[in-house]
Chain A
Amino acid sequence: MKKPILELKNVTSGYNEIQVLKDISIEVFEGEIVTLIGGNGAGKTTTLMTISNIVPATSGEILYYGKPIHKKPADVLPGIGLCQVPEGRRIFPRLSVENNLEMGAFLRKDHKKIAEDIEYIYQLFPILKERKKQPGGALSGGEQQMLAIGRAIMGRPKLLLLDEPSLGLAPLITLKIFEIIEEINKKGTTVLLRLCNGNGKNYRQRYR
């Protein structure tokens, strides 16, 4: 049997006294696109934040390639190929588009390949190339979302966590973003996607 790339075993987590996740178990296999679906306050974002250890898990285990990562600080995770696009287009608003993308490759040292990857992002999102010298905060909502995804891809993730990439975007742009997610997936990145109810396309629903 194939081993899961990411495995959550009875994870509990929350903010101070408020327990949000109660005994969550998820398995994500290599090459999949897995979608988390649930109503408001169901804990979708918290699940992703717990995987990234921004919100620490209070009990349970998170395994990545079979190794526990719930004790590791959030800043080492991109180095082992686990990148997250946080909710609500959180880019670096006063850094230029180019610098934003470079920040995504912060832990990488292969300058030549970084330059190649930036070109690849510009191919995926040509609008970013036109605006590469502009501050990220001057982009439109859809462009900012593209930039946030681009920045995460710059880390060459094996597993990409996407938190609500379609939030507040026009249907056409949403479609485009999903096309690109599929393209990244075909190139060998596993994707854990978080959506609101029934938004976007029919991805395979695994849990919740």
Chain B
Amino acid sequence: MIQEFKSKGKNYLIGLIWFFLLLWPLLGIHSDGTLSFAKAFYVWFYIFCASIIVVTVYIIHKKGLTLPLVKPLASATNKIYGYAASMPKPVLFIIIGVIAFLFPFFTERYAQDTAINVLIYICLGLGLNIVVGMAGLLDLGYIAFYGVGAYTYALLNTLYGLSFWLSLPIVAIFAGIAGCIVGYPTLRMRGDYLAIVTLGFGEIIRIIFNNWMQLTNGPNGILGIKPPAALIPSFANGFSFEYLYLKKLHYLYYAALLLAVFTIIVVSRLSASRIGRAWEAIREDETVAEMTGINTFSLKLLAYATGAVLGGIAGAFFAARMRFVSPESFTFIESAMVLSMVVLGGMGSIPGIILGVIALIALPEVFREFELYRMLAFGASMTLMMLFRPKGLIPSKRMGVRSEEKEE
């Protein structure tokens, strides 16, 4: 064990010194110009002790001393995994569906609100997954289509009084057109250049929302958007249908669930199709994809437009839920968040992205008390993820399976 410490010790020590050098300016330089060391050292010492414990446990674990402790745990989790895997897929879906359906009955307003957020971001993440995960086009301005969807519904509703469900197809068409307009000039580029240009277009669309006073009311936003409505059976005087705006949160939750399920079905059907395979080929090698007969330009445009349509639908729901839109909701940080969800969860994998969204939306809610350090923890967790699971929480299956493992 001493030997182990010696071999790792040097790097470990350098790391701790480096960490202190980073920490001290944050805690030791005060706004009035005075310098202090005590507080920084105090915090650093805590982290030093904690890390020593972690490293010791890690080394003990490596040596196999914890085996009697870990083994039953590992076998138990393996059993659960094996059981879940052996279960037929429809059963799994039904269980998840029932849990999702019953969710509002057992939860408070706050939890439902978070759940709606998660569902909206699932739609967004899956939409971006088509562009980034499947077609391999790095899009840093994706939130613009979310904005186009939100504003389209907001305007259709406030100016023409169109209902949510009737607006949805129009929203989809508008977002798709926006996707084509942005995609047509940008998709001639590849890699880094594409990322920068999409970033620019995303900002352009946000600035249009901000400055087109006559139409979008500028930074003041649009107020008074109606929530989605539905016919709800009522048994008050015999049987009849009641036309109801879904103001209650749990009704909105079901509307969001419906959209999320729709998105999941669309994306999974697409990824199993010929088009999905062509997108993956483009991601792998564009020139060769062209040589095997794939019209790369139109398929890239299709990927972009499909992603935009899904993002637009999510945006329309966002506007309907908030009953207010303003350009502030569509800044670059939102694009970056959605992209991190996709990357964290595993590009190209639907369950992975759902998990990634839950991790990045629900967990910060759970840790509200540590608000101050949220972004710090966020950055640290992303770094650790990229070190230990670079393919995401649940990597995509299509990335290849060993032939011995799966033989039909």
A-side interface residues toward B, CB under 8 Å?
52, 54, 73-79, 83-84, 86, 90-96, 99, 102-104, 106-107, 130-138, 151, 155
Q: A76-B293, A77-B293, A92-B281 are in contact. List 15 more A-B contacts (CB 8 A).
A: A75-B290, A75-B295, A77-B291, A78-B292, A86-B288, A94-B283, A94-B284, A94-B399, A95-B281, A96-B398, A96-B401, A103-B278, A106-B277, A106-B292, A137-B400
Which residues does chain A contribute within 8 Å of B399, judged by CB atoms?
94, 135
Task: Indicate the member of B292, B296, B401 with the most A CB atoms within 10 Å.
Answer: B292
Residue on B nearest A129 in the bound complex, by CB? B403
**B290 adjacent to A74 (CB under 8 Å):** yes
Contact flag A73-B291 (CB < 8 Å), given A92-B280, A135-B400: no
Sample of 25 A–B contacts (CB below 8 Å): A76-B293, A77-B293, A78-B291, A84-B291, A90-B285, A91-B285, A91-B288, A92-B280, A92-B284, A92-B288, A92-B289, A94-B284, A94-B398, A95-B398, A102-B277, A106-B281, A106-B292, A130-B403, A131-B403, A132-B403, A133-B400, A133-B403, A133-B405, A134-B402, A155-B293
B406 located at the interface, meaning its Cβ lies under 8 Å from any Cβ of chain A in the complex: yes
- 8 Å CB contact of B293 from A54, A79, A102: A79
Closest chain A residue, CB of each to CB of B400: A135
Instruction: Chain B residues near A91: list those with CB within 8 A.
Output: 285, 288
With an 8 Å Cβ cutoff, the count of chain B residues facing the other chain is 27
Could you say which of A54, A104, A137 contacts B292, with CB atoms under 8 Å apart?
A104
Q: B294 contacts the other chain (Cβ, under 8 Å)? A: yes
Whether A134 touches B288, Cβ cut-off 8 Å, given contacts A75-B293, A92-B280, is: no
Are A75 and B284 neighbours in the complex by a CB distance under 8 Å? no
From the candidates A86, A95, A130, A132, name the one contacting B291 in the complex (CB within 8 A).
A86
| Distance (whole angstroms) from the CB of A81 to the closest CB of chain B | 11
Q: Check if A86 sits within 8 Å of B287, measured CB to CB.
A: yes
- B291, A54: Cβ atoms closer than 8 Å: yes
Give Cα A70–Cα B376 distance, bound, in whole angstroms: 56
Query: For A138, what are the chain B residues with a Cβ–Cβ distance below 8 Å?
Result: 400
Cα A106 to Cα B292 in complex, Å, equals 7
C-alpha gap A104/B295 in the complex (Å):
13
Give which listed residue, B277, B284, B292, contacts A155 with CB less than 8 A: B292
- In the assembled complex, the Cα of A92 lies from the Cα of B292 at a distance in Å of 11
Q: B401 and A106: CB pair below 8 A?
A: no
Main DSSP-derived SS at the B contact region: helix
Q: Is B398 touching A106 in the complex (CB atoms < 8 A)? A: no
Q: Are the CB atoms of A54 and B400 closer together than 8 Å?
A: no
Does B287 lie within 8 Å of A90, measured CB to CB?
A: yes
- Does B368 have its Cβ within 8 Å of any Cβ on chain A? no
B400 touches A134 (CB 8 A): yes
Q: Pick the residue among B280, B285, B291 that contacts A74 (CB under 8 A).
A: B291
Min distance, Cβ A4 to any Cβ of chain B, angstroms: 22
- A75–B402 contact, CB under 8 A? no
**Of A54, A99, A132, A135, which one neighbours B290 at CB under 8 angstroms?**
A54
Chain B's closest residue to A135 (CB) is B400
Question: A134 to B294, alpha carbons, bound, how many Å?
Answer: 23
Assembled-state Cα–Cα distance A166/B248 (Å) = 69
B89 within 8 A of partner (CB)? no
B274 interfacial by beta-carbon distance below 8 Å = yes
Cα–Cα, bound, A73→B291 (Å)? 10
Shortest Cβ distance from A74 into B: residue: B290
Residues of chain B with a CB closer than 8 A to A54's CB: 287, 290-291
Which of A75, A76, A99 is in CB contact (< 8 Å) with B398? A99
B396: min CB distance to chain A, Å: 9
Q: Which residues of B contact A106 (CB under 8 A)?
A: 274, 277-278, 281, 292-294
Instruction: Return chain B residues, CB-CB under 8 Å to A103.
Output: 277-278, 281, 289, 292, 294
Q: How far is the CA of A190 from the CA of B398 in the complex (A)?
A: 34
Indicate with 1 or 0, residue by residue over B48-69, a CB within 8 angstroms of chain A CB atoms.
0000000000000000000000
Task: Determine how close the nearest CB of chain A comes to the CB of B354; give it in whole angstroms.
Answer: 22
B383-408 residues with Cβ-Cβ distance < 8 A to A are: 398-403, 405-407
User: Do A52 and B281 touch (CB < 8 A)?
Assistant: no
User: CB-CB < 8 A to A131: which residues of B?
Assistant: 403
B295, A73: Cβ atoms closer than 8 Å: yes
Q: Give every chain B residue within 8 A of A102 (Cβ-Cβ).
A: 277
Q: A residues within 8 A CB of B290?
A: 54, 74-75
A61 to B143, CA, bound (A): 47
Q: Across the two chains, which residue of chain A brings its CB closest to B280?
A: A95
Taken together as a complex, chains A and B put the C-alpha atoms of A76 and B403 apart, in Å, by 33
Q: Kindly provide the distance from the CB of A162 to the nearest chain B CB, expressed in whole angstroms.
A: 12
